[in-house]
Every structure is written in structure tokens, then in C-alpha cells.
A = this chain, B = another copy of it.
Amino acid sequence: MSNETEIVSAWLTSDEFELARQRLPIVYLNLVPVRLGHDGVPTHIGLLLRATPDGEITRMIVTGRVNYGERLSAAIARHIEKDLGPLALPRVPNVHVPFGVFEFFPDPSVTGLRDSRQHAVALGYVVPVTGECQPSQNSLDLMWMPVTDATPEWLNSELSDGYATVVRMAMAAHGLL
């Protein structure tokens, strides 16, 4: 992603960053955008449509790194804006208690969560968005999936690399399974 590369280059050259992320676990965010009903319960999950480097098409939540010196709340706001646009109006969640911590490894046999580029320790947050969302250039589309239709089977067929599990855990954290 050219976007990420630019940000990175302010801190590390790409080469230095590539070296580092083959040697250190990376602090990551797994953000599940939701629309809330009037009773505060999530009704829809926001899923991006992405083309992976190998040309596969897959649905995806919002993810990304935390930068050096950056607060978690700022990183959450930055990644939501990057992927859902500046008018998404996210409600920044309570960063102190993620709904789960997710361990991604290049080898999917370790945890079932795969990140081919790095060992990432991802903090999971549900992020209610109240404004107008439009997917960034990196995405082909954004859909709002009704929570009631996001069955394990559907999620498993549409999301890769174990992200179906992350979404289901986000739902579980709100009593929705």
C-alpha cells in the first residue's frame, strides 16, 4: 500500500522496516466497523472488498499498524479514516480493553490467523461509525452486512486468513452469536 509506505518512510526506510518486521512482533489493530441500532446493539458489520497481492478477492475488516509515538486512539481514528473516509465519524472505543488479542503468524498452523508479511499482535476493537462511509482507493467496495446474516459459514467463505474468527469474536463480545 503506497499509503502505508509513505507513513513508514517518515520513520524507517522500507528496507529497515522490512528487516524489523522479520525480527520483531508488530503492534497491530483489528477494527470491526459497525452500525448501531437505537438500543446500542450492532446491527451491521462493515466489510471492505479487497484484492490481495496474489489477485484473490476477499472481504476484510480495517487493519493496520500503530506508529512509533502514536496513541492507540489516534491510530484507530487514522485507520478508520484511511479505509472508510473522512466522514465516517467513528466513535473511538475504550482502548484500554480490546474485545480480544489476536496473534497472527506467517505460518497459519500456529493460531489459524495468518499474516504472510509479519508476526502481528493485533488488538481487536469494535468501532461504531455514525457518518457516511466510502471505501478508499485500496478497496473495491464496502458492504454493510446485517449481523443476523453473518453466519459462521458465510464469514468463513468470504473472509480469509482467519478474519472470520475475528469478526465472530467481535460479535460474541456484544452478545451476538
Contact = CB atoms under 8 A, between A and B. Distances in A.
Contacts of A69: 105, 119
* SS of A interface (majority): loop
A103 B95 CA distance: 10
- For this chain, the copies found in one complex come to 4
Contact of A100 (B27, B110, B152, B175): B175
A12 B153 CA distance: 42
A73 B74 CA distance: 28
A172 B175 contact: no
A1 interface: no
Interface string A35-53: 0000111000000000000
A177 to B, nearest CB: 5
Contact of A16 (B11, B19, B39, B67): B19
B96 A100 contact: yes
Contact of A24 (B40, B68, B101, B105): B68
Contacts of A67: 25
Interface in A42-80: 66-74
A160 to B, nearest CB: 16
Contact of A174 (B25, B91, B96): B96
A121 interface: yes
A104 to B, nearest CB: 11
Contacts of A173: 94, 96-97, 172
A159 interface: no
Interface of A: 11-12, 16-17, 19-20, 22-27, 39-41, 66-74, 91-98, 100-103, 105, 110-111, 119, 121, 123, 152, 165, 168-169, 172-175, 177
